[in-house]
Structure 1
Amino acid sequence: FILVHLLILNLFFSTKIISTSVCRSPLGMSRGQILDEDISASSQWSDSTAAKYGRLDCEEGDGAWCPEIAGEPENINEFLQIDLRSLHFITLVGTQGRHAGGIGNEFAQTYKIKYSRDGSRWISWRNRQGKEVIEGNRNAYDIVLKDLEPPIIARFVRFMPVIDHSMNVCMRVELYGCEWLDGLVSYNSPLGQQMTLNGQYIYLNDSVYDGAMSYSMTEGLGQLTDGMCGLDDFTHSHVYNVWPGYDYVGWTNESFPNGYVEIIFEFDRTRNFTTMKVHCNNMFSQRVKTFQKVVCYFRSESDWEATPISFSPVMDDVNPSARFVTVSLYNHMASAIKCQYYFSDIWMMFSEITFQSGDDPTHKVDDSNTRILIGCLVAIIFILVAIIVIILWRQVWQKMLEKVSRRMLDDELTASLSIQSETFTYNNNSPSSVPSEQESSSTYERIFPLGPDYQEPSCLVRKLPEFSQTSEDTGELQKRVQEGVPHYAEADIVNLQGVTGGNTYAVPALTMDLLSGKDVAVEEFPRKLLTFKEKLGEGQFGEVHLCEAEGMQDFMDEDFSFDVIENQTVLVAVKMLRTDANKNARNDFLKEIKIMSRLKDPNIIRLLAVCMSSDPLCMITEYMENGDLNQFLSRHEPEGMIALLSNAPTVSYSNLHHMATQIASGMKYLSSLNFVHRDLATRNCLVGKNYTIKIADFGMSRNLYSGDYYRIQGRAVLPIRWMSWESILLGKFTTSSDVWAFGVTLWEMLTFCKEQPYSQLSDEQVIENTGEFFRDQRRQIYLPQPPMCPDPVYKLMLSCWHRNTKERPSFQEIHHTLLDCKP
């Protein structure tokens, strides 16, 4: 893992293409790397609330920076200014109020940001929709992190609180990002243009450019330096709720009689340039191609050199993918570069342009540093070899223990399953079983933690540097969490692998015993009445098929309302066990039938029938005509101007709220039975008529959602972006961890599933963020408030993500809250 991390860092610094998901390190307000003399302010309450006390998560002085007079929305004059000493790429900001150990209660509810690259020209930051005001704090102690979309390139940054005179304001702040090694301070280019494609307007303007814009763009930076590369299809975008063409700046050759677009790049100083990388669209089916030729001139003093360099990339009329074109600059010394990009078709579109220079800090590695690096790599290799040997030894030892344990259980434990009938009696609320003569006496093997799909939490704990040193750290982790995380002991849980290899539900053993004490009232369904439509997913033990079923109404319980016309075929999901499945998988399949047959709630997928008379064993469950909620919402847009312009189908907020309330109701029912779902997400909710929602468990089996699961050591897969911190670090799954996942699911819905949760973080960074929740030093990153999410609903989400599980609401409370705040 360390070696891979080093290789990634090396790749990052060698290519120098800034990534907003990687460039998110604190720049030094909270840790003191930014010196007191580099922090200034327009005014202060007193010496104890001076600018130098405006450091995030610090309580020095009177606990924060506080201006003498609070600003007003119409006239903001107060500011806290930070000088970073050099240009930085800033992707995230954090704010906090004045807590001062409970004495203070001043904070900025909203604020604006201004920035400058030279200290003279100040630019107001605006988000991608043109909004300047940033939502700040709601109390004096919580840290609120806000992504800067778009990011900014600046040396100087000002935080400017916006508030009326009804309350005083104080701020503590932090900036997050990395050094801007390109040295580019501005580019001048023609304005981006508008395309009409199939009656749709494609806007290819540089909408976040921060310089002057008239007939051309001058003295600014924008989308060509925002760290976001455009998609292959330029009509779509990474960014939610923007117009077609947003990712690209584009021009048509009809507006350029010379046949080229000229862009001038200005830098902070004279540099020794090695390469230029230009990210181009190549969707040739729409007459868009990479440039045919580029001619670049260099200026080191006041005049342009007479002799330019020229480069012609290989044209590609086969692969329509967008790509970086690398242009060698042959170590030219310059403080400015003028490049003329020649058209090879009607349209030319760029989304990112970066420069590499030989005098960058990343290229200055002397011999001594090289020797140190090689020595470190050799040591790391030896450590990795030792770790591999230990892992192999443990696996052999675990297999030996597993064989011994199973042999003991085969001798001691037997259980039987009869689909037709079982008889149990109860005395004093304690179940005792009396099997009938019809029961079989087949034994089953209990699922052991040492099995191939078990993931030891310590494997994830070791990913966090703080937990990788000694076993005392892990012991402390277990000790600190023991009281705050109630959970079922592993030995008391019955985990069902299901046909796809993913856990269906985690059920307390006592509950499983109670369920086993009832007859399974599920009828045999004739296989010939099932017509295959498509395969929904597959896994280690079986497959899930979408089928049409004839005459299903005749197999329904009296208490089950089935909204289908008589003699009409209905869509069903058929879980099919492989004929070569092992005994464990077959027993799990039968247990799953028992459990599913007892789940009777309008918001939970129902088991309709089974096919057990011959192999392959099948269970038939409901399926909703609109598919899963993730795909349903991603095909829709929120009501508003964007939807009107794009003529896309819409879903109103009231319908979103209705669907969320149904999910909460279904989970309330599961939690009342002490069932833990463990994979609640929009991909596992199905949508029917009139926005009816039913919770299912097909998500893990579908290739469509393979990116939502993180594979541990090539074996277990976990939906880490939906999992609570204690589930990731300790392997503890409870109703409280389902509550956490509900908060993430609610966030998905209110973003219309346009992006993955924590899309700005890599999988490893998501795991590291859970460590911040454990340490509880207020540095953890929360999912941001979606644009259309009301404050009470976002407050509900945040309550689902409390560090302490006891502080998270129950599903009954969540359901009640959603009913109360119904729009």
Structure 2
Amino acid sequence: MHLFFLLILQVTATSAQIDPVHCRSALGMQDGRIKDHDITASSQWYETTGPKYARLNREGGDGAWCPEGELEPSDSQYLQVDLGQLTFVTVVGTQGRYARSSGKEFARAYRLNYSRDGTLWRTWKNRHGNPVMEANSDAYNPVIKDLHPPIITQFVRIIPVTELSAPVCMRVELYGCPWEDGLVSYSSAEGQLMMPPGYPIASLNDSIYDGTHQRRRLSGGLGQLTDGVIGQDDFLLTRQYHGWPGYDYLGWRNDSLSTLGYVEMEFVFDRQRNFTSMKVHSNNMFSRGVKIFSSVSCWFKPRLQGGWGAGPVVFHTVLDDRNPSARYVTVPLGRRAGSTLRCRFTFADVWMMFSEISFLSEDTVLPTQPVSTTTPLPPDLHSAMATIPATGRTFDLSSSPQYSCSPEHSNTPVLIGCLVTIILLLVVIIFLILWCQYVCKVLEKAPRQILEEDLTVRLSSCSETVALQTPPVPPRASPPSATAVSSDSHYERVFLLDPQYQNPAALRNKLPELSQSAETSGCGGGYAEPDITQCTPHQCFHSNAPHYAETDVVRLQGVTGSNMYAVPALTVDSLTRQDISAAEVPRQRLVFREKLGEGQFGEVHLCEGEGLPGGAVLVAVKQLRADATSQARNDFLKEIKIMSRLSDPNIIQLLCVCVASDPLCMVTEYMENGDLNMFLSQREIESTLTHANNIPSVSLSDLLHMSVQISSGMKYLASLNFVHRDLATRNCLLDRRLTIKIADFGMSRNLYSSDYYRIQGRAVLPIRWMAWESILLGKFTTASDVWAFGVTLWEVFTLCKEQPYSLLSDQQVIHNTGEFFRNQGRQVLLYAPPLCPPSLFKLMMCCWGRDADQRPSFEGLYQALRPHVNQ
């Protein structure tokens, strides 16, 4: 029964963590969701330049908010915005007074003050202690600035700053998302210095804490434990630019806390809640004396001025001395009620380090009784829960409202019935655990069985139980298998590939069936004027484009963490340094804004550029690290050469390079509207309701236009015999006119880590977008890109609300590829999206054809889709 509760809590808690990369929605200044009475100011020049006119891209009144008189360097005039609730604010946009060409006032810089209660005001500072943010250089163009660190607040004051006496006017937009945690402050001992011999000194303090520091204790504020930045496995590495070793963690040493053996933290919330669980991201580099906590005890206080309830919730972890990866530990809190929590985390080694703490709770407060005794998890279930992080806990069934077996009832038959029910449930759960273990072992062996001499061996004995069509699931969530495996990449199962996976040619010699196409089923060849209404799952366009197996191409992958295009080896070898057509620019023109991602030898940065080709302002910069190997350096130069050859309206463009000196850099376009996955997931299909409520929306025509653009870009790559390998909506970027450019940044962004499957000894793979021959044989061709294009179309017409095959675990997806290979009609197919025209879904089915040479070519896909878009 303990396992049952823990599995439920493990799934529900995964959505509680704020992701700063995804939390960038406009909060309502421009579109009017923030009302006029929620916008105030310290002064105004005229009625027509009052605070209600301080809305970005709006021209109401005289065009902006202007404080009274000329602003002096010593002034602290402010514009105040009430967001109505606690909000995680990540971005600020500012603009001057344009007033249809008649205005010229703007602010060159500003400061931010913020308050969570409207009484206590705090000053925002960046991670290097600077409180001043650069703003505008003219009155018309808006300037968008990320807050590093972000702030959690309800009230924001924008304070314009000037060096000389001058009139100043401003228009503003704030970006972020609601702070559902409700946490308003946490208190703990200060972090400490770690001075390990042979390693850099690690400063494990909370460097952005906005409360008070007194007597080596933090109190009354929030900081790095709620900034959404998750620490890496090696705590000496940091995700922040120019951060010092240990920057991402708050850490304590066991023998420096008066030998108490624990760290006590207190958490204060905005109101009383019923707490379901707490998630603690903890480092576990045991080789340097760092481990997750061994146990935690939490007390609850219903009211801020009240007393602590008796009987804590106690949770014991299972310590891991084999996997040094940092991980989330989910602590069940039994739906206990309170507005303040006090938790004691017990050391398991010399050091304990946290990078994030979040809470999951229910809005409706239900009274709970403190418990004096707890029931430990039976030892025989520990092995069954080996794949779940931080298992083995104490939990009191009487504190859970799911069961009504209360000691207060003396009716013997009722008690006996409850006991029998619990025993039966335990027996069923244990049986399911053992059965799941057996199935998982079979699934792990499945890909190897495909490669044996006997092709009749089945991947699994449970294939008959899998439905042939996955029912739609509205939210994009983790598959049910996530109850047994954490969504964090550190707990992904490792898929052991057959050694011959490294050599697809040997596989084709061993299994000639894998390299021979089955009999054609009436699919024609020409593309004079294809009609997608005539295409069926068994009558598909013939692909005339040449295919290149993995052994025939050079794979430019892993240098920056992104999945670069693969091209024929002959094409790469024929290129020289003179083939780089991109201009060399001084790296001083690139001003860092944020890190987008990283790989083993390189990083991807978002930068502001000055005087770059094409007048680009925001650019993506791939930079090779100084300690990269010579092979990584050669691959990076090859990647630059290949990118310099690409020139198409729907392919991301290489703008310039910095290769005259180290570190080597390539500069590409960056789209401020982000990727297609994020864009569509934040929108609904256009309707009267969306218009009436100002809900961001897209039309069916927009979706078809996007599909045509993606097919056009892939048609261009296919014409050069380039194979992308990672086509998906996350790798399609948009500009303001909804122009799509295919890129390769998806794998380097933590936001989409769940879309990739970690394979032992190899790079992670986007298996839900991959053709069966790519997974089983390592064969990547134009035809496998066509398969991924079909899945990308499916994403587009589900508005990216759901992951492909969302009801299947990663292991089941791999098993399903075997069913595609055997082609016995038992493969699981993606369902037809409700927004998708039937003829278009038939085209998707053609892209997922079993035989690669029977799938459409990108030329055919483009010609088939283009007539359905209103030009």
User: What TM-score results when the alignment is normalised by the length of structure 2?
Assistant: 0.48
Between Structure 1 and Structure 2, how many residues are aligned? 487
The AA in structure 2 aligned to 1:216 is R
The AA in structure 1 aligned to 2:96 is G
Structure 1 equivalent of residue 342 of structure 2: 338
Deviations 1:467-503 (A, max 9, x none): xxxxxxxxxxxxxxxxxxxxxxxxxxxxxx8x9x6xx
**Alpha-carbon shift at residue 94 of structure 1 (Å):** 1.0
Aligned equivalents of 1:125 and 1:232: distance in 2? Answer: 29
8 A Cα contact 1:721 1:757, kept in partner: no
8 A Cα contact 2:650 2:739, kept in partner: no
8 A Cα contact 2:601 2:627, kept in partner: no
8 A Cα contact 1:188 1:264, kept in partner: yes
Structure 2 equivalent of residue 288 of structure 1: 290
For the pair 1:216 / 2:217, whether they are aligned, the reply is yes
Aligned equivalents of 1:151 and 1:727: distance in 2? Answer: 25
Aligned equivalents of 1:676 and 1:216: distance in 2? Answer: 56
Deviations 1:395-443 (A, max 9, x none): x99962447899xxxxxxxxxxxxxxxxxxxxxxxxxxxxxxxxxxxxx
Aligned equivalents of 2:568 and 2:284: distance in 1? Answer: 45
The higher-RCO structure (CA 8 Å, 6+ apart) is 2
The AA in structure 1 aligned to 2:354 is F
Aligned equivalents of 2:59 and 2:99: distance in 1? Answer: 6
Matched ranges for 1:598-609 at <5 A: 600=578
For the pair 1:255 / 2:259, whether they are aligned, the reply is no
**Alpha-carbon shift at residue 539 of structure 1 (Å):** 3.9
**Partner SS, residue 23 of structure 2:** coil
8 A Cα contact 1:679 1:719, kept in partner: no
Matched ranges for 1:301-380 at <5 A: 301=303, 302-359=306-363
For the pair 1:140 / 2:118, whether they are aligned, the reply is no
**Alpha-carbon shift at residue 15 of structure 1 (Å):** 2.7
The AA in structure 1 aligned to 2:169 is C
**Alpha-carbon shift at residue 29 of structure 1 (Å):** 0.8
Structure 1 equivalent of residue 450 of structure 2: none
8 A Cα contact 1:602 1:694, kept in partner: no
The AA in structure 2 aligned to 1:95 is T
**Is the alpha carbon distance of 1:135 and 1:760 closer, same or farther for their aligned partners in structure 2, counting shifts above 3 Å?**
farther
Matched ranges for 1:433-512 at <5 A: none
For the pair 1:227 / 2:228, whether they are aligned, the reply is yes
Aligned equivalents of 2:240 and 2:231: distance in 1? Answer: 10
Structure 2 equivalent of residue 542 of structure 1: 553
Aligned equivalents of 1:603 and 1:352: distance in 2? Answer: 45
The AA in structure 1 aligned to 2:338 is A
Structure 1 equivalent of residue 246 of structure 2: 245
Deviations 1:604-625 (A, max 9, x none): 99xxxxxxxxxxxxxxxxxxxx
**Is the alpha carbon distance of 1:677 and 1:732 closer, same or farther for their aligned partners in structure 2, counting shifts above 3 Å?**
closer
Aligned equivalents of 1:544 and 1:756: distance in 2? Answer: 15
**Is the alpha carbon distance of 1:759 and 1:262 closer, same or farther for their aligned partners in structure 2, counting shifts above 3 Å?**
closer
The AA in structure 2 aligned to 1:254 is D
**Is the alpha carbon distance of 1:188 and 1:164 closer, same or farther for their aligned partners in structure 2, counting shifts above 3 Å?**
same
Aligned equivalents of 1:692 and 1:269: distance in 2? Answer: 51
Structure 2 equivalent of residue 162 of structure 1: 161
Structure 2 equivalent of residue 110 of structure 1: 109
Aligned equivalents of 2:749 and 2:314: distance in 1? Answer: 42
**Alpha-carbon shift at residue 763 of structure 1 (Å):** 12
Deviations 1:719-769 (A, max 9, x none): 999987589966789xxxxxxx9xx9xxx9xxxxxx9998879999xx9xx
Structure 2 equivalent of residue 275 of structure 1: 277
Aligned equivalents of 2:227 and 2:355: distance in 1? Answer: 9
Aligned equivalents of 2:666 and 2:91: distance in 1? Answer: 35
Deviations 1:297-318 (A, max 9, x none): 1111311123222111111111
Unaligned segments of structure 1, at least 5 residues: 1-9, 362-376, 382-395, 407-448, 455-496, 502-537, 547-574, 579-588, 606-628, 639-647, 652-661, 698-709, 734-740, 749-754, 768-823
**Is the alpha carbon distance of 1:174 and 1:341 closer, same or farther for their aligned partners in structure 2, counting shifts above 3 Å?**
same
For the pair 1:400 / 2:524, whether they are aligned, the reply is yes
Structure 2 equivalent of residue 180 of structure 1: 179
For the pair 1:297 / 2:299, whether they are aligned, the reply is yes
**Partner SS, residue 187 of structure 2:** strand
Aligned equivalents of 2:132 and 2:18: distance in 1? Answer: 26
The AA in structure 2 aligned to 1:269 is R
For the pair 1:171 / 2:170, whether they are aligned, the reply is yes
**Is the alpha carbon distance of 1:307 and 1:135 closer, same or farther for their aligned partners in structure 2, counting shifts above 3 Å?**
same
**Partner SS, residue 15 of structure 1:** coil
**Partner SS, residue 220 of structure 2:** strand
Aligned equivalents of 1:758 and 1:137: distance in 2? Answer: 29
**Partner SS, residue 195 of structure 2:** strand
Aligned equivalents of 1:81 and 1:205: distance in 2? Answer: 32
Structure 1 equivalent of residue 95 of structure 2: 96
Aligned equivalents of 1:399 and 1:64: distance in 2? Answer: 63
**Partner SS, residue 100 of structure 2:** helix
Matched ranges for 1:722-733 at <5 A: 725=734
**Alpha-carbon shift at residue 248 of structure 1 (Å):** 0.5
**Alpha-carbon shift at residue 691 of structure 1 (Å):** 5.7
**Alpha-carbon shift at residue 84 of structure 1 (Å):** 1.2
Aligned equivalents of 2:161 and 2:47: distance in 1? Answer: 22
Deviations 1:568-589 (A, max 9, x none): xxxxxxx9969xxxxxxxxxx6
8 A Cα contact 1:21 1:762, kept in partner: no
Structure 2 equivalent of residue 149 of structure 1: 148
Deviations 1:658-716 (A, max 9, x none): xxxx99x9999979xx999966559x97958x66989999xxxxxxxxxxxx9999976
Aligned equivalents of 2:119 and 2:169: distance in 1? Answer: 26
**Partner SS, residue 400 of structure 1:** coil
8 A Cα contact 1:70 1:162, kept in partner: no
8 A Cα contact 2:24 2:175, kept in partner: yes
8 A Cα contact 1:91 1:151, kept in partner: yes
Percent identical pairs in the alignment equals 41
**Alpha-carbon shift at residue 99 of structure 1 (Å):** 1.0
The AA in structure 2 aligned to 1:295 is S
The structure number with the bigger radius of gyration is 1
Aligned equivalents of 2:27 and 2:522: distance in 1? Answer: 45
Structure 1 equivalent of residue 399 of structure 2: none
8 A Cα contact 1:45 1:66, kept in partner: yes
The AA in structure 1 aligned to 2:363 is D
Structure 2 equivalent of residue 79 of structure 1: 78
Aligned equivalents of 2:75 and 2:747: distance in 1? Answer: 36
Structure 1 equivalent of residue 45 of structure 2: 45
Aligned equivalents of 1:207 and 1:398: distance in 2? Answer: 67
Structure 2 equivalent of residue 411 of structure 1: none
**Partner SS, residue 52 of structure 1:** helix
**Is the alpha carbon distance of 1:78 and 1:761 closer, same or farther for their aligned partners in structure 2, counting shifts above 3 Å?**
farther
**Is the alpha carbon distance of 1:604 and 1:145 closer, same or farther for their aligned partners in structure 2, counting shifts above 3 Å?**
closer
The AA in structure 1 aligned to 2:46 is S
**Is the alpha carbon distance of 1:696 and 1:155 closer, same or farther for their aligned partners in structure 2, counting shifts above 3 Å?**
closer
Structure 2 equivalent of residue 55 of structure 1: 55
8 A Cα contact 1:194 1:204, kept in partner: yes
**Is the alpha carbon distance of 1:37 and 1:313 closer, same or farther for their aligned partners in structure 2, counting shifts above 3 Å?**
same
